[in-house]
Each structure stands twice: as structure tokens, then as C-alpha cells.
Chains A and B, each alone.
Chain A
């Protein structure tokens, strides 16, 4: 039989394009994918609305956006803030150095109040502050303080007149920040908060006041913190493990299935690449459960290749030609693969619909894996094996690891 060069050229081109794309762009895509805290370091806090206050989804999302403003103070990029109705907010931040400071800034209600001398009666609230007006200043002794402006200057003047000669303490939540004694009525709606230990603390307070108070009071119900160095190590270990695993799988598949094994390896590379691409496109965070689903996905994709190749080998052993065996083998294995894929999709759809948090993350990764497996291990694999067979190059059963004496004369 004449070898058809055209088909081989297409096969080689396809391989080069796939490997070339993977090699040249994987690093960029990998860098863009958000890694979970377990793989990157950082911390996660789950807040729950304290009891006895009105909470609904609207209030929760207002709170979430107030938290987002505050995280900007920390200069951290891309915090992950999710609302978990009815009453929880999950905050995940990667790569924070000072976790204590971060948590102080995020979780406080930060309600500023001016109170009467007894500290019991609230005279003015944070909502009376002019938005974005808080800034750091210095007193005559060059000590840092926070300057604020009030929206209603007249009201402030009236209140200060009432308490001349008495202290008018300023509270942040239930902590007294300072208790200046009113010497005279203050016009112009300007006030200062003294008693700041450092410029940094003054700056944090000013930013906190500008970010606005949280609409509801939150309590920390769960927290999880991973040192950045530990997270990096976990990721490095996992990647190293992954590389060895993939190498072992490649050797095994090519050793056992020969040429179609090589095709399986190429489609597996495409599989891994496309799954990463889906992670990137859907803005998914790669966590350990996601990694688990990824491994299962590799298993399912390899399985699809193995099922097809076993079927082809079976047909070869019955004495059919390579061309006929590939045709019948691909056809017969197709429905098997579809059934096993669809059953897993059905299960993961239900997990997605009813699951929360980790379960949902797992099911999304699994679905992505199965759909990509259909494209690569089923479609791409068939295209490539067919190209090789039609080229007449791969026309001996030994290419499929079927020995002559295994073939029956039937």
C-alpha cells in the first residue's frame, strides 16, 4: 500500500500546533489562574452576622462591598469575597503579610460615634461624616491625629456649645479613641481625633473611616491561615508530584499501547491545557478539591483512550484489518464512553446544584474535565488515529501491541 504523505503531514502539523501552543502559553495561563489559599498562602475568614439584627441578601452585599473597600486599604489585589446566604460572608485574601492587621481592618464594624461625657448617649454618628474627608494630620507637638469633617456644621456647632467645659469622647465601636474637652463651640464642622500612637495607625483609622462602616455587626466563625511560604511549598510539592505522575502515565500508556498510546499522550496534553484554559476563562480558583477533580478527569480521559484502544485490539485479534478494526473499534467504544461520561456529568450536575463551597468547586472542575475529555480523548483521539491509519503508515497490528500469534484465523 502506498503511504499517503498528506495525512502524515496533517498529523505532524496537528501535533506541532498542539505542543507548540501548550509550551508557549501554559506558563502565562498558569500565572493567571487564582490558586486557593491551600496552594498559595493567605487567609480565609468566614464571618457571620451577629444575632438580633436584620439581615438579607441586599444588606449582605452592601457589607461585602464595604469589606472590599477596606481590603483596598491593605493594598491587596483580587480579594475573593463571597456572600453565603442567609447570613455569612467568606473573605479570602492571598499573600497578606500582616494577618492580624488585615483582620482588624476587615472585621470591625468601624462605627464612629461622638458621645456625651458619660459615654452612654450617642450625639453624632459615622454617617454624619463627610464621605472621604478623613485624613492624617499633626498637632502642635507633631503627634499624628486624624482630621475629619462633618456634613452638618451647624449641628456640630450646636452640640459642642452644649458641652463646653466637658469632655466629649469619640468612640470607634465600643473603644474610646480620645476624649477631648470642649473649650469653645466649634464652627465649620471640623474635628480631630487625637491619641494616635503612630502615623501608620492614624492612616489605617482614616482609611477605615473613609471606607465606611459596615451595615451589620459581624462575628468571625471560622478562620484559616496559611503562611505564604508553606502555601508555596504545598504548591511546589503538588506540581512536582503532578509532573512525575504525568511522566509515569505517559511511559505506561506509550509502553502498552504503542502508536495509539502516543496519540493518547498528545490528547492528554491537550486535555490538561484546555482544562487550565477553562479554569482561567471561568475565573475559577484552583484548590485541593479542584485538583482532585482534575486527577479524576485525567483518569476519565485516559480511560476513554484505553477503552477505544482495547476495542480496536479486540477487533484486530479477530483477524480484521487495521483499517476495519479502527473503524469498528471506534464506533463500538463510542457509546460506552458517552454513557460513562454522561453518567458522571449527571452526578456532577446534581452535586453542583445542591452542593455548597468545596462540593460545588469540585463539581465544576469535574464537569469541565469531562467535557474537555469528550473533546480531546474522544474527538481529537479519533481524528489523530484515523489520520495515521488512512496514511497507510500504521497498517500492522503490532503498532497496536497485538502480536501475530494472538490473532485468530476466524
Chain B
């Protein structure tokens, strides 16, 4: 190809950007934490769907009359036709029926209700379990990639995978987007994509490295640039395909999977970015250090 991009030369810039993004996310996680959904906070969530836009003031009035003081209610749904009501109290099925009929009467329309009562222990257990299982999966990835490739590839791939997960979690914290149990599935998907995307570029770097055996920094850097270049069309086309699927889910999928699809989009873009600008760059820096060490010890 006639044009070429110096990815390795700009690595410090991209390391900087990546680290800034992560720091912003981590600071936000410490300061305002995550906006935890009902799965992680005890209480009840009711999604009350109507056949028209919700009148929020009137709805709050109804809830107040039923004994829920200062109700935490907001409007959701594509057509603003869902009232989302959260309370730390446990609402029994009988109470749900009471609320449903109150809304039926007040708005003279049939409303349908989705209710969720949660003991936060379960959600937290699932999150903890997901984290432990993911960490163990990372150990397995490190072992497998170390055997098939070498340890530098393995560690770089796992660092990248953590970057992608942390980036997505950070954005959700910064913008205080609600996080529920399905978010865990989104993070798992992102991790799966990240590792898949990184391995393909690494495979090309390994192939070119074995063929060219670069000894000088310039040769090593241009070899990595070349490898990224050779797989660039694939990287872009693959992420575009997956993004098409995720975008369709955001635009057309129901309310319940909107945040999930949003997490997917963030993570997929991050996964494609990080394979090139983080994983490959960690590898090139690390490998160069090893080459220098070998040269100085043999000299």
C-alpha cells in the first residue's frame, strides 16, 4: 500500500490518552461510584408501561397517595411511555396489584407492570462470582497464549483486556448510567471480543517477527507498524460488522437492553482501539527492552 501510519512512533501519545481515560474512570469510580441498579441495591423496581406518554407529576401524586412519600420515579422508554419507580421498600405482589389498578383508574387505560424485588446479596454474589471467574479465565489465557506465542504477548493481551473492561465501567461511572446484572454479560462479551481481536494482530506480529528477526529499534518498530497495517482492514471491517449488530440493538432493541447495547458499543470500539494502540505497543516496548538486555549481556 502507498500510505503508511507510524503507530509505534505515536505510542507515547496513545499511552497518555489511554492512561488519562482510565484515570478519569477510576477517579469517578471512587468519587461517585457506579449508579447501581436494583440488582445490587435492595428494594423494588416497578416498570409501569402505559399506552401514551407518562404524566410524571400525576404519577408521583398517585404513588404519594398510596403511601410512597417523595417517590423516586422517572420516565423511560422510547415514547416516554414507561414510568420507572424505585423504592427501598419491598413491594408485595398484592401491593403491585394495588398500584396497577390505581394507575388503571387514574389514566383510564390499561397499564402493564414489570416488578423486580431484590435482595442485593444475590446481585453482589453474581458480580463477585463474575469477577473471580474472569480473573481465572485470564490466568488460563496467559498460560495458553504463553504456550502458543510467548509470555510478552500473553501479558500484553491481558492488560489490554483489563483496559477495555475498565474503560467501559469508567464511562458508565462518569455518566452515571445505570448498571444492572446484564451489564456483567456485556463486560464478558467485551473481554471475549478484546482477546479475539488482539490475538489476530499478535499472530501477524509473531509471523513477521520470526521472518524478519529485527535487531534494531527502527526495524522492530517498522515491523510492528507493518503488521498493524496488514491487519488494519480486517480490524476495521470486523469491528464495523459487530458494531452494526450492537447499533441495531441500541436503536431498535427494547428499553431493557439499551444500556447493555451501549456498553457493548463502548467496549467493542475500545477493543479494536486497544489491540493496536495498547497491546501491540506494550509488546514492542517490552520486546525492545529484552533485545537490549540480550545484546548487553552477550557483549
A is bound by B: yes
> A10 to chain B: closest CB distance in Å?
28
The one of B185, B244, B252 in contact with A362, judged by C-beta atoms closer than 8 angstroms, is B185
The one of B117, B204, B241 in contact with A299, judged by C-beta atoms closer than 8 angstroms, is B241
Check A343/B199 contact, CB under 8 A, given A225-B114, A358-B181. yes
The one of A241, A249, A252, A314 in contact with B253, judged by C-beta atoms closer than 8 angstroms, is A241
Are A354 and B49 in touch, CB under 8 angstroms?
A: no
Are B253 and A46 in touch, CB under 8 angstroms?
A: no
Are B252 and A241 in touch, CB under 8 angstroms?
A: yes
A-B contact count (CB 8 A): 218
Q: Which residues of chain A are within 8 angstroms of B96 by Cβ–Cβ distance?
A: 225
Stretch at the interface among B27-35, B64-72, B136-144, B213-221: B136-144
Q: Which residues of chain A are within 8 angstroms of B24 by Cβ–Cβ distance?
A: none
A302 to B189 alpha-carbon distance, docked (Å): 16
> B196 to chain A: closest CB distance in Å?
5
- Which size bracket describes the interface of A in this complex? 35 or more
CB of B211 closer than 8 Å to a CB of A: no
Check A295/B129 contact, CB under 8 A, given A227-B112, A350-B140. no
A226 to B112 alpha-carbon distance, docked (Å): 9
- Which size bracket describes the interface of B in this complex? 35 or more
- Closest Cβ neighbor of A349 among chain B residues: B140
The one of B121, B189, B199, B233 in contact with A310, judged by C-beta atoms closer than 8 angstroms, is B233
CB of A127 closer than 8 Å to a CB of B: no
Q: Which residues of chain B are within 8 angstroms of A229 by Cβ–Cβ distance?
A: 49, 112
CB of A187 closer than 8 Å to a CB of B: no
A281 to B175 alpha-carbon distance, docked (Å): 42
- Chain B interface helix/strand/loop/mixed: helix
Q: Which residues of chain B are within 8 angstroms of A234 by Cβ–Cβ distance?
A: 253-257
Of residues 260 through 307 on chain A, the ones whose CB sits less than 8 Å from some CB of chain B are 288-289, 291-293, 295-296, 298-300, 302-303, 306-307
Interface centre among A221, A225, A347 (most CB of B within 10 A): A347
Q: Which residues of chain B are within 8 angstroms of A355 by Cβ–Cβ distance?
A: 129-130, 133
Are A351 and B93 in touch, CB under 8 angstroms?
A: no
- Closest Cβ neighbor of A295 among chain B residues: B245
Q: Which residues of chain A are within 8 angstroms of B189 by Cβ–Cβ distance?
A: 292-293, 295-296, 362
Stretch at the interface among A141-149, A168-176, A334-342, A389-397: A334-342
Are B140 and A346 in touch, CB under 8 angstroms?
A: yes
The one of A302, A347, A357, A358 in contact with B242, judged by C-beta atoms closer than 8 angstroms, is A302
Are A362 and B113 in touch, CB under 8 angstroms?
A: no
> B257 to chain A: closest CB distance in Å?
6
A347 to B136 alpha-carbon distance, docked (Å): 8
Q: Which residues of chain B are within 8 angstroms of A245 by Cβ–Cβ distance?
A: 244-245, 247-249
Are A288 and B256 in touch, CB under 8 angstroms?
A: yes
Are A302 and B241 in touch, CB under 8 angstroms?
A: yes
Check A100/B93 contact, CB under 8 A, given A230-B114, A238-B249, A300-B196. yes
A238 to B258 alpha-carbon distance, docked (Å): 11
Are A230 and B116 in touch, CB under 8 angstroms?
A: no
CB of B230 closer than 8 Å to a CB of A: yes
Of residues 305 through 352 on chain A, the ones whose CB sits less than 8 Å from some CB of chain B are 306-307, 310, 314, 335-336, 339-340, 342-344, 346-351
- Closest Cβ neighbor of B144 among chain A residues: A346
Are B126 and A358 in touch, CB under 8 angstroms?
A: yes
Are B129 and A256 in touch, CB under 8 angstroms?
A: no
Q: Which residues of chain B are within 8 angstroms of A100 by Cβ–Cβ distance?
A: 93-94, 97
CB of A385 closer than 8 Å to a CB of B: no
A314 to B230 alpha-carbon distance, docked (Å): 8
CB of A138 closer than 8 Å to a CB of B: no
CB of B102 closer than 8 Å to a CB of A: no
Chain B positions near chain A (C-beta within 8 angstroms): 47, 49, 93-94, 96-97, 112-119, 121-122, 125-126, 129-130, 132-134, 136-141, 144-145, 148, 181-182, 184-186, 188-189, 191-193, 195-196, 199-200, 203-204, 230-231, 233-234, 237-238, 240-242, 244-249, 251-257, 260, 264, 268
Q: A234-B256, A241-B251, A299-B193 are in contact. List 13 more A-B contacts (CB 8 A).
A: A46-B119, A223-B116, A253-B241, A288-B256, A296-B189, A306-B237, A306-B238, A339-B148, A340-B196, A340-B203, A342-B148, A350-B137, A356-B126
A-B CB contact pairs (8 Å), 23 listed:
A46-B119, A237-B253, A241-B251, A249-B244, A252-B240, A288-B260, A293-B185, A296-B242, A298-B245, A303-B200, A306-B234, A310-B234, A335-B203, A336-B199, A336-B203, A346-B141, A349-B140, A350-B137, A350-B140, A356-B126, A358-B130, A359-B126, A362-B188
